[in-house]
Amino acid sequence: SDSNTNGGEGINEWSQADLMKLLNPGYENEKNGDSVTGSLYWNRASGKCYNGQNNATTDCDFTENNGNKVKGLSEEAKSMIEKSTWYLGGFDQSLKGTINLHNITDLMDAERGTEVYKEDNITRTTIWNGYVGLMYPSDYAQATNSDSCDDTLYYWDTNDACTSNNWIYKENYNQWTMSPKSNDASGVWDVFRDGSVYSPYNARYAFLVWPVINLKSSVKITNLDTADGKTKSSYQLGR
């Protein structure tokens, strides 16, 4: 956000987020000065991405894979993505005694709930219809093969139960989720660099992002390539 809104710290409302507009179609006219900021990932385009306080920007190029660059979506990939309903319920550390953060089922209930920050003049929604979203905290918890991750998920409690064999975990990097902090205007839940689910950060921070999509029911797995014959597999999708 600009300096006049939440002190430039951002707004924890996905339906209005600059990141949402970067990933999804229909925002090609979104600009910062002369540079396009919207729909860059969707359109395999280049322009500016927001990455800091007071609407700071950096150059972004989604036209090719090269070093830290990531290519955007192909036309074939876009044709396989279903426009879906995404849930924007939030929660805070206290959770008013209704939800146990160490329990994945309770997390999913919170993510699909109606708790959002209401003490400013920003209109916040509890559902959003679109193509590309982010992971939820519960997605991260379920990406491990450990049954005990939900016992150690909350911040400062984490151990190997949540990070071992978890394909979403990236050591030493923070990663955004889609769930806002319900007792704060700017806070968003993230996967902390130690592997725990954490919430001290405002939306203006530039963290890692996993673009998440839902596939159309007509899409099939056309090929499974097991790279090492055992564990590392890649799926090829088609019609």
Closest-CA residue to 52 (of 208, 203, 199): 203
As a three-state string, the secondary structure of 61-122 is ECCCCECCECCCCCHHHHHCEECEEEECCCECCCHHHCCCCCCHHHHHHHHCCCCCCCCCCC
C-alpha dihedral sign at 31, 175, 144, 89: negative
pLDDT (0 to 100) of residue 166: 84
DSSP 28: T
One-letter amino acid for residue 20 of the chain: M
Report CA dihedral (31, 22, 180, 155) to the nearest 10 degrees.
-120
Q: Whole-model pTM?
A: 0.89
Hey, CA dihedral for 98, 125, 81, 213, is it positive or negative?
negative
What whole-number distance in Å separates Cα of residue 86 and Cα of residue 130?
7
Residue range 172-191, pLDDT digits in tens: 899 999 999 999 999 999 98
Q: Is the dihedral of CA 201, 207, 208, 211 positive or negative?
A: positive
- What does the pLDDT look like over 4-47, one tens digit per residue? 889 999 999 999 999 999 999 999 999 999 999 999 999 999 99
Contact between 107 and 90 under an 8 Å Cβ cutoff? The reply is: no
Percent residues over pLDDT 70 in the chain:
85
pLDDT band of 162, cuts 50, 70, 90:
confident
What is the token pair recorded at 134? 């982010």
Q: What is the pLDDT of residue 231?
A: 55
The 8-class DSSP code of residue 140 comes to H
